[in-house]
Amino acid sequence: MKKTTITLFVLTSVFHSGNVFSRQYNFDYGSLSLPPGENASFLSVETLPGNYVVDVYLNNQLKETTELYFKSMTQTLEPCLTKEKLIKYGIAIQELHGLQFDNEQCVLLEHSPLKYTYNAANQSLLLNAPSKILSPIDSEIADENIWDDGINAFLLNYRANYLHSKVGGEDSYFGQIQPGFNFGPWRLRNLSSWQNLSSEKKFESAYIYAERGLKKIKSKLTVGDKYTSADLFDSVPFRGFSLNKDESMIPFSQRTYYPTIRGIAKTNATVEVRQNGYLIYSTSVPPGQFEIGREQIADLGVGVGVLDVSIYEKNGQVQNYTVPYSTPVLSLPDGYSKYSVTIGRYREVNNDYIDPVFFEGTYIYGLPYGFTLFGGVQWVNIYNSYAIGASKDIGEYGALSFDWKTSVSKTDTSNENGHAYGIRYNKNIAQTNTEVSLASHYYYSKNYRTFSEAIHSSEHDEFYDKNKKSTTSMLLSQALGSLGSVNLSYNYDKYWKHEGKKSIIASYGKNLNGVSLSLSYTKSTSKISEENEDLFSFLLSVPLQKLTNHEMYATYQNSSSSKHDMNHDLGITGVAFNSQLTWQARGQIEDKSKNQKATFLNASWRGTYGEIGANYSHNEINRDIGMNVSGGVIAHSSGITFGQSISDTAALVEAKGVSGAKVLGLPGVRTDFRGYTISSYLTPYMNNFISID
């Protein structure tokens, strides 16, 4: 059977909170949908001089789609490229002096190092230039000339879960929507969730904000609900205005680190991630180890800081822990800067505390010889704080920083002054694939308070009982080559009147010829709630493709807890229909328990219009049946398109009249009956490639 590739027109639509992005899409321009046995030779016809709309490429990089004048040469047409065009495409200004131009100010290409190929059939102009005449550019970021704002559109992500328990006849629901609207450079976003658990109903709106990018200053402007930067001060929720450096417009080396959330679920569980009390992420996970990566956390539109993780097990047990995270050393190259300015009202998760208007500003600047200076202020009617610090890039030894903070908390009777200092260290050892991050912050006196602590200190004695004395965190990631990899995180919060809480998460993973082995250990202790638990998990996955000729895996997991019995879990997982169908069947035995045996079945299907799943579980006293659906919707100028969930940066693909065309790399994503579909997981401001089959 002959495979035909179709030339498509792609409408770009940005769902990234930063507003604009690169829209480079490379297709096979020379291929058309033709009957078998025919070719495109009939397109090779003589083209007359004149103005033509073409895609301009320089060294295989799309620069722009524009109208150019083509003049007649001996055997071909030559484009008229002016100085302005050449500079726009990336030719160094100083190199223009060596080029010759005609009376119409068009470069004489035959007397220049530039080579070109004009293809009238697919309306493309391919330019080739030696690197010595090009301006220095950051290869990580696409040419700014092809950034655009995308299309105007309404978009909606939705997710809904339903669970029915046979015992008691209880039904539980969870729903989450992420509506948004794109208009020009502006992006309006909201995240709301609703749940009904055991007849307890709860609705939460995590945020609603409008945001746009400012290309000239590599920044973004936000109006609404967000979180302040966590570079110098603890991130706090606010409702107001903020102007920040947009890290998606700058190289990865200058971007903020986002934490990875790892944990162990003992049963089918719901994982909730909260920041400052707000629910910002929720997902369902099967028993075993799980990981919520940077993509999910970064997509939330919130700042970073301490994240509170809760795992709600099917058997009613709840695990609570925090993800240790400390902002990396603030180190910038010479001449680079980063800033954040916020004016707004503190946004409390409930109405038990005051919500004052505040101002926060931070600034970081890179100096020669690896030095970086930074400082910031927080001004509120009841609280002021100032921070200064410096860092040093010490080359092969990593980077080290020191910061000093002072606070003034205003009460009805007096002002209380406090001080704190912090030390941070980061090191990435390329030779050994080792990443190390250490941070320690010590509150020099009891009177030092963070902004959030000042807000929550309505009762004086209670505040001193809960006020931190120090916090220490460590993150270690070590790749061991053929031996696997190890990850370790540690966090210890100490308070003035008690030891506080401590958490340790260690994991090891190895893959050999498709056989996957992972070990995980979690230890959490809290003197405040007097809750202590040790949890160990062992997971083995063995591929069965050679035995079954299908993509299947046999899994065994053993998990044990200091609070609960040991669990043994044996299952089979399969993938079919080009990864659109995922299914799993498992049996579980719990030692020394009245309900010793349990059975779990679940399956999910990813299709053109979304994703649907079902699950079933059964033990000696209960039986549960559940369903879940998720997907995305885009309403645009040409109609409404349904698809799978939409990521922050996505494209609306249009192939009018062509239904069922696959987007390669995205299981189940095909053009609908009108020829439209959604291609997600693109990267803003970078070159993206979409392949259609």
Specify the pLDDT at position 24.
35
Q: Based on DSSP, count helices (H) and strands (E) in the chain, helices before strands.
A: 5, 41
Specify the pLDDT at position 83.
83
The per-residue pLDDT for range 103-119, each reduced to its tens digit, is: 888 888 887 888 888 88
Specify the pLDDT at position 301.
40
Query: Which residues partner with 175 through β-bridges?
Result: 160, 194
For 111: left if phi > 0, alpha if psi spans -120 to 50, otherwise beta; the answer is alpha
User: Which value, to the nearest 10 degrees, does the dihedral of the CA atoms of residues 350, 353, 355, 356 take?
Assistant: -170
pLDDT over threshold 90, residue 316: no
pLDDT over threshold 70, residue 469: yes
**H-helix or E-strand containing 580?**
none
Q: How would you write 334-348 as a 3-class SS string?
A: CCCEEEEEEEEEECC
pLDDT > 90 in the chain, percent: 24
**H-helix or E-strand containing 625?**
strand 623-636
The per-residue pLDDT for range 573-582, each reduced to its tens digit, is: 888 898 899 9
CA distance 98 to 129: 14
Which of 174-183, 299-308, 316-325, 340-349 is least confident?
299-308
pLDDT tier at 324, thresholds 50, 70, 90: low
pLDDT over threshold 50, residue 257: no
The per-residue pLDDT for range 122-133, each reduced to its tens digit, is: 888 998 888 777
pLDDT over threshold 80, residue 150: yes
**CATH number for the domain formed by residue range(s) 45-141:** 3.10.20.410
Of 326 and 332, which is predicted with more confidence? 332
Specify the pLDDT at position 430.
63
User: How do 261-265 and 676-679 pair as beta strands?
Assistant: unpaired
Of 168 and 409, which is predicted with more confidence? 409
pLDDT over threshold 90, residue 359: yes
- Helix intervals (H) in 226-293: none
Specify the pLDDT at position 603.
93
CA distance 17 to 540: 39
3-state secondary structure of 49: coil
3-state secondary structure of 326: coil
pLDDT over threshold 60, residue 413: yes
Specify the pLDDT at position 189.
95
pLDDT over threshold 70, residue 368: yes
* Residues 510 and 484 sit within 8 Å (Cβ to Cβ): yes
Per domain, the residue ranges of the chain are 45-141
Of 14 and 322, which is predicted with more confidence? 322
pLDDT tier at 120, thresholds 50, 70, 90: confident
pLDDT over threshold 70, residue 28: no
Query: Which residues partner with 283 through β-bridges?
Result: 271
CA distance 307 to 319: 14
CA distance 293 to 688: 21
* Residues 120 and 47 sit within 8 Å (Cβ to Cβ): yes
What residues contact residue 131 under an 8 Å CB cut-off, 6+ apart?
A: none
- Residue 19 in tokens: 């507003």
The per-residue pLDDT for range 43-79, each reduced to its tens digit, is: 334 568 888 888 888 887 788 888 899 988 777 788 9
Region 24-38: mean pLDDT is: 39
What is the overall mean pLDDT for the chain?
79
* Residues 385 and 377 sit within 8 Å (Cβ to Cβ): yes
Region 566-586: mean pLDDT is: 88
Specify the pLDDT at position 278.
61
Region 614-629: mean pLDDT is: 88
Nearest to 678 by CA among 634, 639, 614, 625: 634
pLDDT over threshold 80, residue 242: yes
CA distance 485 to 511: 10
pLDDT over threshold 90, residue 213: yes
Work out the burial of residue 136: count CB atoms within 10 Å of its CB; fewer than 13 is exposed, 13-18 middle, 19 or more buried. Answer: exposed
